[in-house]
């Protein structure tokens, strides 16, 4: 596979990797509007907003190329399955086209693979009826490697579109080792999303070269301005910074 670099990529290829994250609990409606406007200006793939902000984001982004995404069972994954299905259906009614759901972490750690499978499958089936895609968050900070592999395989069996590393609200985020493990645990049909620690262009390029096709980011503007500057040859030399711990 050809290495992904600033020289080999277009702006659109990089921008459409990014889900601009607007999930911090303290964000006001005005800040959500500003974040959606930024996402539209930079033409990213989507915004990922809190469930209460889906209608607002859909209004702001109407007519743009940016999709509205939201979260289901967030951030702990411990909602009842029926509640997750309700959340998914309501979000789609209000304008969400992408759903980032948290699997049931405790049940996965407890070895209840069947429960986890049916929990994910129920949301996937609801999403299919509404035309949305599903990204399943494993929350790797709480899992062993064996559980990460199992969670990834269950995600594929349930019919979801993506497997995702993290919520951004746990002790750790995306790591190269986890991304390699997840990518190798699913077929090419299932895409991989990195979240937590992708705060620079170098980090985004690093995960792209590991097979990641979408990232959750709050530093969207800085990443894309850096890309434009490097592409134009006007960026100042700086130390490369890859994936970082914390948020």
Residues noted as catalytic: 100, 164, 193
Contact (CB, 8 A) for 228 and 11? yes
What is the CA 98 to chain-centroid distance, rounded? Answer: 10
What is the CA 29 to chain-centroid distance, rounded? Answer: 21
In SS3 terms, 163-176 reads as EECCCCCCCCCCCH
- Of 148, 240, 160, nearest to 201 by C-alpha is 240
Residue 112, Cβ density class (10 Å: 0-12 exposed, 13-18 middle, ≥19 buried): middle
Radius of gyration of the chain (CA): 17
Strands (E), the chain: 18-22, 46-49, 67-72, 98-102, 133-137, 162-164, 191-195, 214-217
CA distances from 217 to 22, 27, 68, 200 (A): 9, 15, 15, 9
């Amino acid at each position: 596979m050809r290495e992904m670099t600033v020289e080999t990529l277009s702006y659109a290829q990089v921008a459409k990797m990014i889900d601009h994250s607007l999930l911090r609990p303290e964000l006001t409606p005005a800040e959500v509007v500003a974040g959606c406007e930024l996402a539209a200006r930079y033409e990213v793939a989507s915004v990922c907003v809190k469930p209460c902000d889906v209608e607002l984001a859909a209004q702001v982004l109407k007519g743009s190329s940016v999709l509205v995404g939201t979260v289901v069972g967030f951030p702990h994954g411990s909602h009842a399955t029926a509640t997750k299905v309700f959340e998914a259906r309501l979000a789609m009614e209000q304008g969400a086209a992408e759903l980032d759901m948290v699997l049931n972490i405790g049940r996965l750690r407890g070895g209840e693979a069947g429960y986890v499978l049916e929990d994910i499958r129920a949301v996937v089936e609801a999403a299919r009826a509404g035309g949305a895609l599903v990204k399943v968050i494993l929350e790797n900070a709480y899992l062993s490697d064996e559980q990460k592999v199992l969670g990834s395989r269950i995600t594929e069996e349930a019919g979801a579109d993506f497997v995702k590393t993290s919520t951004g609200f746990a002790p750790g985020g995306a790591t190269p080792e986890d991304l390699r493990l997840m990518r190798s645990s699913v077929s090419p049909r299932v895409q991989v999303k990195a979240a937590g620690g992708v705060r620079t262009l170098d980090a985004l390029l690093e995960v792209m070269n590991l097979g990641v096709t979408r990232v959750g980011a709050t530093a969207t503007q800085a990443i894309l301005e850096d890309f434009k500057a490097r592409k134009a040859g006007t960026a100042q030399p700086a130390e490369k910074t890859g994936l970082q711990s914390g948020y």
